[in-house]
Structure 1
Amino acid sequence: MASSPLNQKSNYQARSISLPSKPHPLIVQCNEHLCRLGASDASSSTSSSLSSKLSCLQDLHECVEKLLQLPLTQQAIVQEHNDKWVEELLDGSLRLLDVCTAAKDALIHTKECARELQSIIRRRRGGEMELEREVQKYLMSRKVVKKAAQKALKGMERKCAEKNHENLVMVSTLREIEAASLDVFESLLSYVAGPRSRSKSSNWSLVFKLVHPKRVACENEETDKSELEKVDAALNSITGQTSSKSDYNVHVENVQSSLGQLEPIVQDLEEGLESLFRRLIRTRVSLLNIFNH
């Protein structure tokens, strides 16, 4: 992905987000959550890393919710009122909702298709032809999901409002929280979308690994792949292959195992996004109420 402001290390962990008076405990908590996100590996898109980031992001936005309910916070925002950054903050809150929705929809679609495929494999009805049709159906759905995720990622490359409100502490804080949130969403969408392209030789290499698992047991490349990539690779080994019954059964078992590992991961990420989405809605409502006073 091309370099963008989202890929650059945010400076939110270095900024003090205090009000003129003694910092409220909620502000301290926001600061701590931002530091945790800033200390996490921005380039890591493993499922465990994403789950941890989402959990931290939920904690951060819970603090934001409570922070916006404080009379002190509302007073500071009203005093710093400026039409330009009011529009920026509202646009930012809507952007977060849009990206969160895109990520959630991609995971839901993936989960539904995976469950349908698992059901077909368990029943083993219709023989190899039906299974191959379902595999093709899943792979086509994955292309749709990847395209949607890539579109969302491309949309995130749009310039964000510059964080130059040095004299507007509360505004700068909310902008930094938005930037931290977008970083996490970017990692999640990249996980769903997977690599942008893969050479034919690389695709054949994946098939080779599945057909000859013992010969590549000590290689590390496969372990570096995400759970979604492993499912895609296992499914590709079934389509268009002429193999013995025993080899075919091995491929099917690989698919079933990969799908079994994927399901709880997707479910966990989806639940995290759903919880976060509800918090983002409440935050936007709070901002609208403050600005309309």
Structure 2
Amino acid sequence: MSMPTLVIGKNGKTGRRVDTLLQIAGYRTRAVSRSTDIAFDWQQPEGWLEAMQGCGSAYVCFQPDLAVPAASHAIAEFIRLARQAGIRHIVLLSGRGEAGAQHAERLVMASGLEWNIVRASWFAQNFSEGILIDGVLNGQVVLPAGDIPEPFVDTDDIAAVAFACLTQPALVNQVFEVTGPQLLTLRDCVDVLSDITGNSIEFVPVSAEDFLQGLRQQGQPEDVLWLMNELFTVVMDGRNSRVANGVEKALGRPATSFRDYALKAARAGAWASPAAVATV
């Protein structure tokens, strides 16, 4: 790859990891976000072409999620501009069991460009870098759907698969469904974190309505509220309660377990203090 790879989401959980892996391996990147010199904002398509110019491939992470109604239109416009800019290969981060995400995937597959879909389960890092870290630090994780099992995936694994897709031509034009190696409920995850951190962390089940009301009182934007409602009232119904082999298929090694993720995060000081909260 003599041309740079466009990495959307420079500060995101997966984008910054993909960018780091590419740079360590000697590849040139252009990692962008709303705050970079060449800015990329999913709400401002008039600026996308500038970010794309001169890049040969792109790692695409849509915010807040491909499930939201506006995502398909944005991805269609991104593809149009990517073709205009000369991008030849798109690696799309997608989600499991989401109708909107599946539509966006089909758009990428039918784009005429080389493509890969990295279809991921729930991020384990939500407990250490995302919406759940405050609950872990405060000893009380309050969520709906506590008994629905999910194969939580380490975002380091997601980034490694995306890196492989971007750098290994033999993997092009394939879907990699990436999950952790075992099914755990949210309650199970909290128990693992209690054991590893040595702190008493309680899982508190609430209704989806009460959870959304709490987010509303925090001032969360409407697209996030829509997404959380979709997640906890539609997607987390057991449809994703199965393990997939995308990590092993792409990398030739097993996926990282939730316990191994938690041990790694604890060693890095993820739950040492509230100051450890990473940029989402």
- Where on the TM-score scale, by shorter chain, does this alignment land: which range? under 0.3
- TM-score if structure 2 supplies the norm length? 0.27
- TM-score if structure 1 supplies the norm length? 0.26
Question: Highest Rg: 1 or 2?
Answer: 1
* Structure with a larger share of its residues in strand: 2
* Structure with a larger share of its residues in helix: 1
